[in-house]
């Protein structure tokens, strides 16, 4: 039997689609974030190399560049971790959420490498995955608070 989608779940689905559209724009086309048209293949396959470089040279890079590369990658994937479980309508374990976040981030990074619109960076995959898991944690906390509130009423 097919389950009906609630209005809230439908709204979350629309928000997820909008989020994915914005994520695509910012990771593939936004010149403000250093996206290019072709050029050389750029990649980093050493975990924490770029993160440590941004920490070490944060004064030269500037606080905006430092924040954008470190915390921006985390914040960019929090909506995925928040919306995805709600839209799918099932509970995830932490390994499943890590896998979903990493797989989505890996896909973005691979497309950037193939289209040469950015760089493939394992540090970005790590930070994006942390963001997805934090978004999922926020989802769980808010869901628990909501259910607790409903029980008290």
Give the CA distances from residue 119 to residues 1, 65, 89, in Å, rounded to whole numbers and listed in that order: 45, 16, 33
Return the SS3 of 120.
Answer: strand
Strand partners, 43: 120
Q: Is the pLDDT reported for residue 34 higher than 70?
A: no
Q: Is the pLDDT reported for residue 19 higher than 60?
A: yes
The number of C-alpha atoms within 13 Å of 35 and in the hemisphere containing its C-beta is 16
Q: Is the pLDDT reported for residue 31 higher than 50?
A: yes
Please state, in angstroms and rounded to a whole number, the distance separating the CA atoms of residues 101 and 95: 10
Compute how many other C-beta atoms are within 10 angstroms of the C-beta atom of residue 85.
Answer: 21
**End-to-end CA separation in angstroms for the chain:** 32
pLDDT value for 122: 97
Q: Is the pLDDT reported for residue 1 higher than 50?
A: no
pTM of the model: 0.89
Return the SS3 of 44.
Answer: strand
pLDDT digits (tens, 9 = 90+) for 54-100: 999 999 999 998 998 899 999 999 999 999 999 998 899 999 999 99
pLDDT value for 118: 83
pLDDT value for 57: 94
Residue spans of the domains in the chain: they are 7-30+40-152
């Amino acid at each position: 039997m097919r389950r009906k989608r609630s209005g809230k779940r439908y709204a979350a689905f629309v928000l997820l689609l909008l989020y994915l559209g914005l994520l695509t724009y910012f990771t593939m086309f936004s010149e403000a974030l250093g996206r290019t048209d072709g050029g050389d293949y750029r990649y980093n396959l050493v975990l924490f190399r770029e993160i440590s470089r941004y920490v070490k040279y944060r004064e030269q890079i500037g606080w905006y560049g430092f924040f954008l590369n470190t915390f921006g990658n985390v914040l960019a994937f929090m909506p995925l971790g928040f919306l995805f479980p709600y839209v799918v309508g099932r509970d995830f374990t932490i390994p499943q959420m890590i896998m979903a976040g990493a797989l989505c981030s890996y896909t973005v990074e691979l497309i950037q490498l193939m289209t040469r619109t950015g760089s493939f960076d394992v540090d970005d995959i790590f930070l994006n995955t942390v963001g997805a898991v934090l978004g999922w944690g926020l989802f769980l906390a808010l869901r628990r608070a909501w259910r607790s509130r409903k029980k008290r009423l």
